[in-house]
Chain A
Amino acid sequence: MALGSMERARSEVDLAALVETYSSLLFRVAHSVLRSRIEAEDVVQDAFVRVLEHRRSLPEVRDMRVWLVRIAWNLALDRRRRIRPEQLDEVFAGTLAASSVPADRALDEAQRIGSVLREIEKLPKRERHVLLLSAIEELGTAEMAEVLGRSESAVRALLFRARTRLRERLGRGETRR
């Protein structure tokens, strides 16, 4: 009984420390996929609940940071399949435009950001995933490779192709206008 309560207390302390250390990073990972603060917070919560459920295997985890990012990443991808991301992208684009340009240019800027987000979604899955993960500053190429289950060189190549393709498509769109 006493051992059980001690173990529970220890796990709670560990979980609180994990939340404090990694919740911001996990939030950004989830937000890069979902582009919604509420949905991203829910994903972080779910990720830590998963950690609680697998707390017996925590000592076996080699890199806690990558392990947590992978959980949050997969949860976010899963959630994005269930919600309507277009509406979330519009809200995110509007917020981002309003924070960066004056109000009279905010609408145009929001449309431009919206078109970038749409083109990102049209990228091949691997390239899109690499591009979104690259937006998170804390993650290096090695960690991205581990999260996505690819080699570092493949990640670098995918990132280059993603940027190039996106630039071309956006450029084509601008010339059409």
Chain B
Amino acid sequence: MKDSDQAIEKVLAGLRDAEAPAGMERRIVETVQNHASTRSRWSWLATAPHRITIRPMAYAAALAGIGALVAAIPAIHQRRHAPTQAEKVPAAAPLISAPSRLVSESSGPPSPATISRAVQMQKPRRLKLVDAQESLAEREMNAPSRPAPPLPLTDQEKLLVRFVHTRTPEQLAAIDRAKWAAHDKQEGEEFDRFFGRLTKEQIAKALSAKEKPTEEAMNKS
């Protein structure tokens, strides 16, 4: 019994006399300070519920705004890419038309599920644009390989074509303005030479010559 008491006392004394390791206080202070600095970085998260209780309407409105923005992003994205899809869908249409016709011939009336699955399978894959050069490369890649059809003639071009087919070579040559002007001048000179253009003196002389015989006739009478 005495040994038991001694053993108990020894154990209790050992527990009582336990000494802290050297530098424990310093380590604890450092740990607590580190914890405090880490905690202060995230303290705004801890105080968020308190702020929400202070101004619930403001935070509810902010949350609703964020939700609306998140909901609007896909719609904006879809609208922005709508022309691209419209350009690509007709190109894919001939590819899907044949299989869907085969399906409809082999299995009676076409079911909407089959058609929708075919369209989904032929959906063109959208390339991710990295920069302007890649954008240009993609446009070049998607450009039609055959030459563009001829454009219709303008009114002026139609007139020219009609002129070429109906007029003589001389008239065609007269299209040139300089030649046309020279031709007009030449014609004018020929006209003058043939009919003899009278000067003012010649006109006055001709008029006086006409008046003299009439005066003589009156005098005679």
- From A45-53, A58-66, A79-87, A148-156, the one touching the partner chain is A45-53
Tell whether, in the assembled complex, residue A31 and residue B25 are in contact, meaning their CB atoms are under 8 Å apart.
Answer: no
A selection of 28 A-B contacts at a CB cut-off of 8 Å is: A11-B36, A15-B36, A20-B25, A23-B24, A23-B25, A28-B16, A37-B21, A41-B27, A45-B28, A48-B28, A48-B31, A48-B32, A49-B31, A49-B32, A52-B35, A53-B39, A92-B14, A96-B10, A96-B14, A113-B11, A115-B7, A116-B8, A116-B10, A135-B12, A135-B13, A136-B15, A171-B4, A174-B4
Find out whether the CB atom of A41 lies under 8 angstroms from the CB atom of B35: no
**A contact patch SS:** helix
| Smallest beta-carbon distance B133→chain A, Å | 49
Count, chain A residues at interface, CB 8 A: 45
Closest chain B residue, CB of each to CB of A173: B4
Collect the chain A residues with CB atoms within 8 Å of residue B122's CB.
none
Chain A 1-26 near chain B by CB (<8 Å), digits 1 or 0: 00000001001100110011001100
Interface of chain B: mostly helix, strand, loop or mixed: helix
Which of B8, B11, B33 contacts A96, CB < 8 Å? B11
- B25→A117 contact, CB < 8 A: no
Give bound CA distance, A23 to B10, whole Å. 24
**B78 close to chain A: CB less than 8 A:** no
**B130 contacts the other chain (CB 8 A):** no
Are A12's CB and B33's CB within 8 A? yes
B166 vs chain A, min Cβ distance (A):
94
Q: Which residues of chain B have C-beta atoms less than 8 A from A52's C-beta?
A: 32, 35-36, 39
Is A112 within 8 A of B7, CB to CB? yes
Q: Is B18 an interface residue (CB 8 A)?
A: yes
How close is A138's CB to chain B, nearest CB, in angstroms?
9
B31 contacts A135, C-beta separation under 8 Å = no
- Contact assessment for A116 and B7 in the assembled complex, using a CB-CB cutoff below 8 Å: yes
Please measure, in the bound complex, the distance between the C-alpha atom of A12 and the C-alpha atom of B36, giving whole angstroms.
Answer: 9
Which residue of chain A lies nearest to B36 when distances are taken between CB atoms in the complex?
A52
Decide if A113 touches B33 in the complex (CB within 8 Å): no
**B207 within 8 Å of A by Cβ?**
no
Asked if B32 and A113 sit within 8 Å, CB to CB, the answer is no
| Contact of A27 with B5 at beta-carbon distance under 8 Å, contacts A8-B36, A52-B36, A113-B10 already known | no
B: interface residue count bin:
20 to 34
Central interface residue in B8, B15, B27, by most chain A CB within 10 Å: B15
B29 at the A interface (CB under 8 A): yes
B11: chain A residues at CB < 8 Å are 96, 113, 116-117, 120, 135
Across-interface contacts of B7 in A (CB, < 8 A): 112-113, 115-116, 170
A166 at the interface (CB under 8 A from B): yes
Given known A-B contacts A8-B40, A134-B12, A27 and B18 have beta carbons under 8 A apart: yes
1/0 contact string of B49-69 vs chain A (CB within 8 Å) = 000000000000000000000
